[in-house]
């Protein structure tokens, strides 16, 4: 197994911290879908080297050929789970369009500062061969790739899993049986325990037009997580999370491949759920963090935090998550995963008015996607969730665009602070205000690698 990179002590500015060469660039999804600007979505390359004259600037933009793809999440063709496969290298970034179902295969190795489009797998071909649509999470699987697909060809749940080989040919559907799964979303696997965990959002036909609270009551949004027999590709157990687990989105196992501990962020109930295997070999779960709803003068009900993303540091000491509607980013010490302790909190946008401007930029939207450097010191944060949801909850994002900030993290004692020298304002892009979503490092990051 490749060695994990552990965190170092104390706060560190980018100039003080030891940056690996691959951490001096960032690849970030930027979209025009839903903005009213008829331009393609694109992959933005950002200079993250504090010694560079173009620090915190977009230095290249790779546009996809079509309009309206809604680029969203992305993943690598190779990670640590295939480190011993001859000839495999982390070269290609798979960049799906949720609305188009197109998969854009981007070569990031030939010229990392200027990624190039290698090929496109057409959404129409995926639908015809697998009856799947709306790609979301991408993970490499040894030398192959699997992608969670949120719907069938007509946009109905539960979808399934697309299987690509190393040449990006469509093999078919990965799963042998979806069991009683109602919806799809994120997934993570832990090979030493022969387990995969998947979560639930909603059918594409439900979430794409926007959010309707009544549809939660009509059971059109998920509240279950599923434990798979990974080798047999079948669901073995489903956990009903109830009111504590409304809309469970991002799932993360510990990076430690021997651990059975994992976490999911329940967006609407704004809870962090912890699961683990007990001494008898049974899966258990508990709520370890509960974010209280906040009153708002323009809302008929208190505003939920809406936890849209979670992330674990490489040493499994800290969990980070964002409350997209409240506007805060939190850090908890989970050295004891049953007893999470709040150690840091910063504000960036949100509906509560606690951070209308940061680093000279009016932040529209809330902290949404995050990515952490391997040493745990630099947390990059972007603001867009999904185009129709952005427009619904933060209508000014159409004119203001999104932004990316960096948070410096204390990896020894806990604590966070927004870096005053790093800001990428996507409201000033050449074709007009765009929005920024997921970010990845060229050489891998805290959310792309699964350890053997």
- Which pair of structure tokens corresponds to residue 350? 């949100």
Using the predicted structure, report yes or no on whether residue 311 has a pLDDT greater than 50: yes
Over residues 362-413, the pLDDT tens digits come to: 999 999 999 999 999 999 999 999 999 999 999 999 999 999 999 999 999 9
Instruction: Quote the DSSP letter at residue 331.
Output: E
pLDDT at 5 over 50: no
Give pLDDT, residue 373. 93
Could you report the per-residue pLDDT of 225-237, keeping only the tens digit for each? 999 999 999 999 9
From the CB of residue 244, how many other CB atoms can be counted at a distance below 10 Å?
16
CATH architecture of 21-440: 7 Propeller (2.130)
**Residue pLDDT, tens place only, 64-105:** 999 999 999 999 998 766 666 677 788 999 999 999 999 999
pLDDT tens, position by position, 238-265: 999 999 999 999 999 999 999 999 999 9
The conformational region for residue 91 under phi > 0 = left, psi -120 to 50 = alpha, else beta, is: alpha
Q: Is residue 18 very low, low, confident or very high in pLDDT (cuts 50, 70, 90)?
A: low
What pLDDT, on a 0 to 100 scale, did the predictor assign at position 444? 78
On whether the CB atoms of residues 210 and 389 are closer than 8 A, the answer is yes
Strands (E), 54-194: 58-63, 75-76, 92-96, 103-107, 116-121, 133-141, 144-151, 160-164, 170-173, 187-190
Mean of pLDDT values over 110-117: 96
DSSP state of 356: S
As a dihedral over the C-alpha atoms of residue 291, residue 295, residue 299, residue 302, rounded to 10 degrees, the angle is: 40
- To which H or E segment does residue 227 belong? strand 224-229
Res. 160 pLDDT band, cuts 50 70 90: very high
Please report the pLDDT score of residue 85 as a whole number.
67
How many angstroms separate the CA atoms of 125 and 306, rounded? 35
Please say if the pLDDT value at position 4 is more than 60: no
CA diameter of the chain: 60
Alpha helices (runs of H) in 173-317, residue ranges in sequence order:
204-207, 213-217
How far, in Å, are 60, 73, 394 from residue 56 at the CA level?
A: 12, 21, 25
Provide the total of helices (H) and of strands (E) in the chain, helices listed first.
5, 30
Of the candidate ranges 21-25, 112-116, 156-160, 296-300, the one whose mean pLDDT is the lowest: 21-25
């Amino acid at each position: 197994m490749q060695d994990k990179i552990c965190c170092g002590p104390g706060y560190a500015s980018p100039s003080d911290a030891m940056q690996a060469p691959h951490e001096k660039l960032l690849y970030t999804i930027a979209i025009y879908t839903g903005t009213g600007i008829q331009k393609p979505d694109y992959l933005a390359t950002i200079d993250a080297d504090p010694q560079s004259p173009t620090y915190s600037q977009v230095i290249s933009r790779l546009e996809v050929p079509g309009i309206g793809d809604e680029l969203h999440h992305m993943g690598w063709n190779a990670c640590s789970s295939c480190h011993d496969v001859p000839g495999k290298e982390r070269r290609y970034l798979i960049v799906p369009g949720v609305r188009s179902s197109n998969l854009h295969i981007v070569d990031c190795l030939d010229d990392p500062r200027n990624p190039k489009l290698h090929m496109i797998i057409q959404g129409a071909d995926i639908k015809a061969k697998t009856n799947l649509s709306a790609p979301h999470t991408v993970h490499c699987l040894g030398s192959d790739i699997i992608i969670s697909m949120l719907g069938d060809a007509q946009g109905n749940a539960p979808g399934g899993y697309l299987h690509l080989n190393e040449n990006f040919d469509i093999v078919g559907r990965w799963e042998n049986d979806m069991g009683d799964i109602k919806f799809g979303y994120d997934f993570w696997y832990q090979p030493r325990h022969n387990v995969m965990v998947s979560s639930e959002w909603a059918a594409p036909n439900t979430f794409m037009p926007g959010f309707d609270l009544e549809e939660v009551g009509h059971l059109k949004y998920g509240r279950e997580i599923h434990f798979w027999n990974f080798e047999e590709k079948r669901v073995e157990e489903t956990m009903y999370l109830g009111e504590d687990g409304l809309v469970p989105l991002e799932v993360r196992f510990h990076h430690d491949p021997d651990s059975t501990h994992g976490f999911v962020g329940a967006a609407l109930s704004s809870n962090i759920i912890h699961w683990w295997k007990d001494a008898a070999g049974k899966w258990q779960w508990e709520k370890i963090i509960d974010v209280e709803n906040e009153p708002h003068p323009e809302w008929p009900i208190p505003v939920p935090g809406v936890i849209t993303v979670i992330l674990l540091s490489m040493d499994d000491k800290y969990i980070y998550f964002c409350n997209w509607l409240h506007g805060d980013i939190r850090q908890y010490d989970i050295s004891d995963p049953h007893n999470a302790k709040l150690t840091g909190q910063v504000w960036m946008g949100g509906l509560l008015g606690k951070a209308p401007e940061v680093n000279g930029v009016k932040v529209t939207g809330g902290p949404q996607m995050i990515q952490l450097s391997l040493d745990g010191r630099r947390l990059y944060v972007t603001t867009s969730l999904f185009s129709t949801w952005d427009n619904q909850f933060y209508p000014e994002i159409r004119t203001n665009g999104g932004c990316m900030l960096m948070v410096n993290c204390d990896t020894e004692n806990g604590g966070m602070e927004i870096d005053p020298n790093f800001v990428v304002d996507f409201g000033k892009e050449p074709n007009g205000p765009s929005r920024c979503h997921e970010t990845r490092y060229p050489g891998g990051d805290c959310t792309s690698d699964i350890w053997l």
